[in-house]
Amino acid sequence: MTYKTDVIGDILGPIGKWQLKAIFLIYLTKIPSSWFMACVIFTAPAPEHGEVYCKPSTSSVAIGPHNHTDWIKIAHPMIEDPHDKEFKFDYCNVYNDAHEHAELFFNDTGMEHHIEPWQKPHAGDNIIPCENFEYRPEYVSVVTQFDLVCSRDVMIAVTQFFHLFGVLWGGIIATKLMEFISPKRLMLLGMFAQIFSGCLTGLVNNYWLHVFFRCTSAICCGQMYTGGQVIFTDITSGKYKTSAIALFEQFWSIGLILLPGVAYYWSSWTYLYIAISCPTVILIYLYRWIPDSPRWLLKNGMIEEAKEVLIEAAEFNGTPDRIPKDLDVLLQAEMECEAPPQPSWFSIWENKRTTINLICCHIGWSIYIMVYYAWLLNIRVYGRQYLEVNTVVAAISELIGVFSGYYFIMCTTRKWMWTSLFNMVGGLVGYSIWFLPPEIKGPEKVALQMCTSMVAKIAVSSTLCLLTTCTQELVPPEKRKVLGYWSTVWARTWLLGAPFIGALGYFYGKFIPQTILATMTFMGGVITSYIEIPRTHPKKCKTNEAKYPAELSPEIFTVKL
From first to last of the 561 residues of the chain, give the pLDDT tens digit.
Answer: 344 568 888 899 889 999 999 999 999 999 999 999 999 888 888 777 667 777 777 655 455 555 567 777 777 777 766 655 566 777 777 777 776 776 666 665 544 444 555 555 545 557 778 778 777 777 778 888 888 888 788 888 899 999 999 999 999 999 999 999 999 999 999 999 999 999 999 999 899 999 999 999 999 999 999 999 999 999 999 899 999 999 998 999 999 999 999 988 887 889 999 999 999 999 999 999 999 999 999 988 899 999 999 999 999 999 998 898 888 888 888 877 766 777 888 888 888 888 999 999 999 999 999 999 999 888 888 877 888 899 999 999 999 999 999 999 999 999 999 999 999 999 999 999 888 887 777 788 888 888 999 999 999 999 999 999 999 999 988 888 899 899 999 999 999 998 888 877 766 777 889 999 999 999 999 999 999 888 888 876 554 444 434 333 433 333 333
Q: pTM of the prediction?
A: 0.85
Bridge partners of residue 558, in order along the sequence = 4
The full DSSP string for 417-460 is HHHHHHHHHHHHHHHGGGGS-TT--HHHHHHHHHHHHHHHHHHH
- Measured between alpha carbons, how far is 399 from 266 in angstroms, rounded to an integer? 26
In 3D space, the residue among 186, 404, 388 whose CA is nearest the CA of residue 296 turns out to be 186
Q: What is the C-alpha to C-alpha distance for residues 416 and 413, in angstroms, rounded to an integer?
A: 9
Do residues 364 and 527 touch, judged by C-beta distance below 8 A?
yes
CA angle 458, 462, 464 (to 5 degrees): 115
Amino acid identity at 536: T
Separation CA 312–CA 304 (nearest Å): 12
Beta strands in 172-213 (DSSP E): none
CB under 8 Å, gap of 24 or more: what pairs does 337-345 form? 339/299, 340/478, 342/481, 342/482, 343/478, 343/479, 343/482, 344/482, 345/482, 345/486
State how far the Cα of 467 lies from the Cα of 364, in Å rounded to an integer.
Answer: 8
User: Within its chain, how far is the Cα of 126 from the centroid?
Assistant: 44
As a 3-state breakdown, the chain gives helix, strand, coil percent values, each rounded to 5, of: 70, 5, 25
